[in-house]
A = this chain, B = another copy of it.
């Protein structure tokens, strides 16, 4: 029988993510949510819907709490007493101390695993993502191996921490980096600095930095507020603001030596800055390389895969700007945003054409010496440019030592069939055949 999971807050973005993920892993998922659209969401997900969690929590093997941080503890306190012994209570909030304290008050016999999936609802899957698990001594032993395996089998990197360790590390890893990016964004707003306008003055390095700031500003601000509500961030913010003031003072006073000392010592503490430099170089070069290849493709047929719809656009590249590409297809022009597309390689484009175009079929009969092996000829014909496939469909003897063989060839849909047929016939003549 399937493991039954109830996702409390299952209509939220992360709740839906987990519903889809767990259903793919053959869990029987139901959701409950105070959101009035929750029932519809459940239907769309193909998940069960539970109106009153307190009545039905007893039926589930796992209750996963996926609600905003500011109500997580309250929801845990109200649902835990309804759960049955041997079942598992999990949360997925990005702070662990408060929620874990609340979870520990659950009736004995209920297992507990605090969970922090370090990704947002946009993540397509768990590959290369990190999930932090916070088990409780004596209260996680049965379920922990299963849950760990669930994440690891799907490509996640799992780390086990205590709630205290988690909150301290996250106060920096998420707390400080988000904070700094958001503060930059707010500052640009205050100074009325036009980011779009400023792209003209950006090097590839700045462009990437600005894009990551934009990335964070694009996210759900409530989620980001909740991450900042980690009590450990206060010290981190204070330390950061103090360092900003200190650096700003050095700069204002023109104290180059002190600034240089701070930066050097930070670099020494950071460790392998050289590796960071090279990794970032690599990313920058990937960025440049694609734009260069696009720019060099003007006048050439290319295939572009739309990263979000999955659709493939094939046409002659007419124009490439830093933000757009214009593709001409049978007289029609299509303008695509560069951030939405991925350039297909020649092989990928060919494969797409083979899979998607309506191809031409031609039969070619040829007189060849009897000892010729038709399967070898088929292989040779298949290698000709524009031929999708070839097969021998008929062979009979014409005269002593001489057969007539008919090959059926499939010609790529966007090639001129006459030209490809001509090339095949030239080849057959070249190996001594006579076209009939």
Contacts and interface: CB of A to CB of B under 8 A. Distances in A.
Interface of A: 70, 118-119, 122, 127-130, 132, 157, 159, 169-170, 172-174, 176-177, 179-193, 195-196, 198, 200-206, 208-215, 217-218, 221-222, 224-226, 228-229, 233-248, 251-252, 254, 256, 259-260, 262-267, 269-283, 286-288, 291-292, 307-308, 323, 337, 339-340, 342, 345, 347, 368-369, 371-373, 375-377, 380, 383, 426-427, 429-432
Given A188-B269, A233-B251, A264-B221, A244 B169 contact: no
A245 B241 contact: yes
A177 B269 CA distance: 20
A226 B260 CA distance: 10
B118 A211 contact: no
Given A205-B215, A240-B244, A430-B375, A339 B279 contact: yes
Contacts of A229: 251, 254, 256
A360 to B, nearest CB: 22
Given A203-B118, A239-B190, A244-B244, A369 B369 contact: yes
Q: How many copies does the complex hold?
A: 2
Given A187-B236, A195-B270, A275-B323, 11 more contacts: A128-B204, A179-B244, A186-B263, A221-B264, A222-B260, A225-B251, A225-B256, A229-B251, A241-B244, A281-B307, A377-B430
A271 B192 CA distance: 12
Contacts of A252: 234, 237
Given A183-B244, A247-B183, A263 B432 contact: no
Query: Interface of chain A, helix or strand or loop or mixed?
Result: helix
Contacts of A240: 183-184, 187, 244
A247 B208 contact: no
A369 to B, nearest CB: 4
Contact of A271 (B128, B196, B260, B380): B196
A431 B233 CA distance: 76
Contacts of A213: 270, 276
A149 to B, nearest CB: 19
A371 B236 CA distance: 85
A217 B270 contact: yes
Contacts of A267: 185, 217-218, 221
